[in-house]
Chains A and B, each alone.
Chain A
Amino acid sequence: MKIRQLSVFVENKTGHLNQILEVLARNNINIIALTLADSSDFGLLRMLVSDPEKAAEALRAENIAIRIHEVLSLELEGVPGSLSRVLNRFSDNGIAIEYIYAFSFGSKSILVMRPENTEKAIEIIQKFQLKPIYESDLKAQL
């Protein structure tokens, strides 16, 4: 359920995001999911990639500030209300979420989240038998 995510600092400059993506392309790294949060001064690019370590090394070599962080991932049922039900489990137990994104992968709907307290969130996942996703699940489909 813990998967490695790449967080990349992106200055607000035209074409800058593409420079980062080109580094990944040159190194033959596949992007599984991507989201970009923006502020007035900079953006923060969060990605799940086929090989986080290799991606980190390649980006650092280009002086790009990155960090590998563990986030939690769950599989959602592809029916209306499933995301809301999952989130209720956390909020009912007083667990705040810093950020969240979701994507489809093959036939699956996948949720990625960073709770304020990871260990407590894992307890909830186990207690309510939510369906975790592992890096191996994502790689198996690539």
Chain B
Amino acid sequence: MIWNEQIECMSSNEMRKLQSERLIELVNRVYQNVEFYRIKMDEKGVKPSDIRSIDDISKLPFTNKTDLRDNYPFGLFAAPMKEIVRIHASSGTTGKPTTVGYTKKDIENWQEALARCLTMSGVSSEDIVQVSFGYGLFTGGLGIHFGAENVGCTVIPISAGNTRRQLQLMSDFGSTVLACTPSYALHLADALAEYGYSLSDMKLKTGVFGAEPFSENMRLELEKKWGIKAFDIYGLSEIMGPGVANDCEFHDGLHIHEDLFFPEVVDPKTKEPLPDGRQGELVFTTLTKEGIPLLRYNTHDLTTLNREKCECGRTLVRMKKITGRSDDMLIIRGVNLFPSQIEQVLLEMGETSAHYMLYVDRENNLDILELKVELDESKMVDTIKDLMSLSRKIEHSLHSALGLSVKVTLVEPKSIPRSEGKAVRVIDNRKI
């Protein structure tokens, strides 16, 4: 099934025409309404009238995550607050979150993109969808929720966590679709027996997994463990949330809703656009967004683009499954984490040195973080109680700043290796 055949199977000429119209309108709108872009375009010597088609997109300036931070909270919004109907936010690099706003039309477009993704995954109005992504400021839960309602599914807004209840409702309500992070889906599968369930108690047939990268092997493992069809849903809150792209039943790349989110792949060093098939940083321009439209936003996800028509009949450009990034951002249980955030917390606390090593691992399919941090010689205490309360205090501060649980272990001063070049701060032992 195809949700919107007109768009999803559009000829490349028609698509470029549609993208061109939308880009021209977008550039005019941001130039008028967003000072940040007006200044950036003026600096580059680009006027809205220079943008005559989608081919002119490379004349436009890039946007980075730091630009969202610098304009926190609403500086990049292009619509007045009375037209903004929802705010979402994700953790930023320096304690301030990255904020995004949606107009009514943005929410409708998001629902449209998600309806296409879910239909691509074989989901229909007959399905009962268990949304086990977190609800709240994170886009995962509410995003999938509204998309599934748009398709006409029965939605169970259970949110993330509480394994026992997840399995109980999955069995009692007969959920046919599970939407969550791939690592949580594996965790739930492994917990079945522990809570006295077997696969025959479940009616699950489809998994829509995302918010963290996972390999094709892991997708196949999920299919095998659950006896389902598993799909990869891609997205990021800056662009919209989940639903920017999704793979179809042929699993040969993820179809990008390019009428809404125009993708480019650029060279990580020169930032020059690369031809299809070459790997680089994935960059998006939000063609229709009103709340916080972004020009050429660099996701730092590494991928390649493929414009060949897919066996499923869709002509939408496909991106290869994301397996790496060009920066040091980690995705832990679906939460974005930059090592610099940890440094920031340690420096603010000032009770240890800022030398640390972060170990990332996966236990029972859940990401776990351990932070080794050097004790400050001048702050040495003489009771176990005080040392333990210091590590608990750091754990607490990290949890409130990052939204993640971190186990903190104190180590001796100067015991963490100093490097002369780029410091190695993270050891990621996860197999994804």
Taking beta carbons and an 8 Å cutoff, which residues of A are in contact with B?
5, 7, 9, 11, 37, 39, 41-42, 44, 46, 60, 63-67, 69, 98-99, 114
Of B377, B410, B412, the most chain A CB neighbours within 10 A belong to B412
Residues of A within 8 A of B411 (CB): 11
Chain A CB within 8 A of B43 CB: no
In the assembly, what is the distance between CA of A60 and CA of B411, in Å?
15
Are the C-beta atoms of B409 and A41 separated by less than 8 Å? yes
Are the C-beta atoms of A65 and B384 separated by less than 8 Å? no
Taking beta carbons and an 8 Å cutoff, which residues of B are in contact with A?
375, 377, 380-385, 387-388, 391, 409-415
Residue on B nearest A6 in the bound complex, by CB: B382
Given contacts A7-B380, A63-B414, A99-B383, 14 further A-B contacts (CB under 8 A): A39-B388, A41-B410, A42-B387, A42-B410, A44-B384, A46-B382, A63-B377, A63-B415, A64-B412, A65-B377, A66-B377, A67-B381, A98-B383, A114-B383
Residue on A nearest B380 in the bound complex, by CB: A67
**Min CB–CB distance A112 → chain B (angstroms):** 12
* 9 closest residue pairs by CB, A with B: A7-B382, A63-B414, A67-B380, A69-B382, A65-B380, A65-B375, A41-B409, A65-B377, A63-B413
Residues of B within 8 A of A11 (CB): 411-412, 415
Given contacts A60-B377, A66-B380, A69-B382, contact A9 B415 (CB under 8 A): no
CB < 8 Å neighbour of B383 from A42, A44, A60, A66 = A44
Are the C-beta atoms of A5 and B375 separated by less than 8 Å? no
Q: List 5 A-B contacts (CB under 8 A).
A: A7-B381, A9-B380, A11-B411, A41-B391, A42-B409
In the assembly, what is the distance between CA of A64 and CA of B278, in Å?
51
Given contacts A39-B388, A41-B391, contact A9 B412 (CB under 8 A): yes
Residues of A within 8 A of B388 (CB): 39
Residues of A within 8 A of B383 (CB): 44, 98-99, 114
In the assembly, what is the distance between CA of A105 and CA of B397, in Å?
46
CB < 8 Å neighbour of B382 from A60, A63, A67 = A67
